[in-house]
Each structure stands twice: as structure tokens, then as C-alpha cells.
A and B are shown apart, each in its own frame.
Chain A
Amino acid sequence: MKGRNLTIVALAATLMFGCGTLAGCGETDGPRTDVVCPPTSASPVVDPALLAFLSKAKAVHLRADVAEDDGKPAEALKVLEGLVDGPRPKGDPPAPEVREVLADTLGRTAELRSELKDYEAAKRDLARGLKLVPERNLFRGRLMEVTGVVEQRRHEVLRKAGDDEGAAAAKERAIEAFDEAVAIQDEVITKTLEP
């Protein structure tokens, strides 16, 4: 108890000079021994772990931009996979920001895979993304838009290959996806205008 009292007093003194005690709770690099963090059952807050993930996401997307500008979609894809398959802040379910950024990234990887004509892998990415954002918001709307694009590209390839049935089915799926994207967008707008 005495030790704990001393800890409390020492930390109070530290805080009086404005030190970031809470910054120790949730950093991704090595534990801090001078900080005691509360259990996870309380309400979550925006913390450094989330910020670290978002910073990484920004860096990854910028690197992917450079790779795409250089005409290297495969390289861009590899960089983005490092984010979607890499470590993420703990939380079940993940924080909304994490889900939305991952969904956005998966939309990007799906689009890139369809450029590389790997339509099944693109569809898998889209399925993962849609599972992350079940809410009918702009992120989900965008994933439906990309789904439409992927199917549209598949349709073109199949049509040129003479697979009329396959092409027709792909076109049908593309139209459905685009319609769904529009419906989501309408809902988003309507919801915003609600009194």
C-alpha cells in the first residue's frame, strides 16, 4: 500500500507539470513501467494506438500512390496488403475508424487486382471490406461502386473471349452493384436531411 501511495503522489506531481500520463496507455512500442492503465471494460477513447494505425495507413497509401504513378500496380498492391493483413489496434469489433480505413484500402486493392485481371481475388477483397462496414454509409457505397467496376471489367474480358453467357452474368452483377451504390448514396443524403 505504501508503495502504491508513493506511486500515486509521484504521478500526481508529474501531472501537475503536464506530463502525458495517458500517452503511455496504448502505445504500440514497448511497455512503460511508470504507467498503470485501467481495464478495457470501460468506454473506449481515441488513443495513440489508433493514431499510430492511421499514420501507418496514410504512409502506405502514399507509397501506393507513388507506385501507381510509376505504372507499377503490383507493387502498389503489395504495399497495401501490408496494411490490410498487418497488425491493427486491438478491439473486437475494431474501432469504426479502423474498419472504415481498412474497407477503403480493400476497395483499392480490389480495384488494383481487377486491373491485373485477378477478378476472384478482387471479389474476395470486396467481401472482406463489406463485412467490415455493414453500415450503409459512404464507405460501403464505394465498395459497391468498385464491385460494379470489377464486374464490368470482367464482362469486357469475357465478351472478348466469346463467353457470352459469362459476360451477360457479369454485366448483370455490375448493374446490380451500381444500383446498390446509388441506393446507398440516396439513403446517406436522405438521412442527412432528416430533421
Chain B
Amino acid sequence: MRLVAAPKRDQDDEAARKKAEAEEARKQAEREEERKLCDQAQAGDKKALATILRKFGPILYRSVLLPRLGSEAAAQDALADTYVRVVERFEQFEWRGCGVYPWLRVVAMRIALDQLRGRKRETLFEPNDLTRAVERAERDLEEPGLDVQLCEKRDRAEARRKLDEAMAKINSRYAKAIQLRVLEEKTREEAAEALGVTVPTFDVVLHRALTALKKAVKKQQEAEA
């Protein structure tokens, strides 16, 4: 009997399949570990609950709260409130296939919505956006394939899309000024040079650019209301 080497494409497929299986197994193990933690937390184990908050808190902060509330102080307040609410109501959490993060996310979204309703904030989002986001987040609880990375990606993409839509509505040189100075954090000198203007002129351009962006966002919000 002569051994024949499998064609290269078959070998690659096999490697990919094995890698996917290993990844799935790892995720499964992680999910089981998470479930155990949740059970312990519901049984009153504060350390387990702290571990859950420690693991997922930063993700809630950077992808759910910070982009939607527009300031570190507001997002940190909201995160603190989220933790309190989670501690108060963790007994209501029911384990589903998607893990605990989607449930935490719903809590955080609701807190953010309360904050936006309670006080006028400088943000690209308004309460209606958050209401829709809460509804979507609640529907996501039924989605078994949803995981933390996907949630995070979606949430950040939504925030970025909101910004990009607004930037597209203003003069392109204004958008460039904002891109350079606010988003890429170039110095005034670098940004001015990139636009081919003096620094004092750039300062004025940036000021007008941000004013124009704010106006565009407000107009969009009024149109959607």
C-alpha cells in the first residue's frame, strides 16, 4: 500500500477546521467558567460578583457608556450606578447561552438612557437613540451566538457611524480640521501645516468646524424626533 500525501488545499482546510474546533472548545470552557461564577454570585458570593464586574466593567465603560454619554465623568457615574444596579438585581439574572455580558449591557444602556433623560448633555446621542439601543440590546439576549467581542464591536461601530454621518454633513476642510486635531490629536502646528494655514487661522477654523458639526448633529436629531 502506498501512502499518498493529501493535496495542500485539503491540509489547509483540515488545519483551519482543527483551529476552529479548538477555538470553540476554548469558548465553551470560558462560558462554563462564567456560568459557574454567575451561580456563585447569585448564591451570595461577593467575590464572584466582583470578578464579573471587574471583567466586564471596562468593556461596558468604553463601548457602551463613554461614547453615548460623551464625557468621562458622566460615563464613570453611569458605571458606578450600573454596578449598584447589577449588585441589587443580580438575583434576577437568568443564564442563557450568550453569557452574562449581554444582560450587563442592557443594564448599562438603561442607566445611560436615564442619564440622558435626566440631564442635558453634550453628546452625539439623544434619548431616542438610547431607547432604540435598549430595545435592540434586549432582543440580543435571545441571540445565542452573541459574544462579548461582537457586542463590543457593534456598540463601538454604532458610535463611530454616528460621528462619521455627522462629519459627512459639514465642509470637508472643517471635517479635516476636526480629524487632525480632535481625533488624531495632532498639535496645532501640525494640523495648521497640514491644512496650509497659520496657527491662529487654524484655531478659528477648528472652532467653526466644531460649531458646524454641533449644528449638523442637532439638525439631524431634530429631523429624527
Contact = CB atoms under 8 A, between A and B. Distances in A.
Interface in A107-142: none
A195 B51 CA distance: 9
Interface in A149-195: 195
Contacts of A195: 47, 50-51
Interface residues of A, number: 1
Interface of B is mostly: helix
A195 B47 CA distance: 8
Contacts of B47: 195
Contacts, number: 3
A61 B181 CA distance: 40
Contacts of B51: 195
Size bracket of the B interface: under 10
Interface of A is mostly: loop
Interface in B29-62: 47, 50-51
A192 to B, nearest CB: 13
A194 to B, nearest CB: 11
A177 to B, nearest CB: 34
Interface string B4-41: 00000000000000000000000000000000000000
B108 to A, nearest CB: 22
A193 to B, nearest CB: 10
A195 B45 CA distance: 13
Contacts of B50: 195
Nearest to B54: A195
B128 to A, nearest CB: 39
A195 B50 CA distance: 8
Interface string B77-110: 0000000000000000000000000000000000
A80 B51 CA distance: 46
A85 B124 CA distance: 54
A195 to B, nearest CB: 7
A6 to B, nearest CB: 44
A195 B48 CA distance: 10
B214 to A, nearest CB: 37
A195 B53 CA distance: 12
A78 B51 CA distance: 51
Interface in B158-196: none
Nearest to B47: A195
B16 to A, nearest CB: 39
B32 to A, nearest CB: 22
B159 to A, nearest CB: 30
B60 to A, nearest CB: 19
Nearest to B50: A195
Interface string A60-90: 0000000000000000000000000000000
B37 to A, nearest CB: 13
A37 B190 CA distance: 68
B50 to A, nearest CB: 7
A153 B51 CA distance: 48
A10 to B, nearest CB: 40
B51 to A, nearest CB: 8
For the complex of A and B, 3 pairs with smallest distance between CB atoms: A195-B50, A195-B47, A195-B51
3 contacts: A195-B47, A195-B50, A195-B51
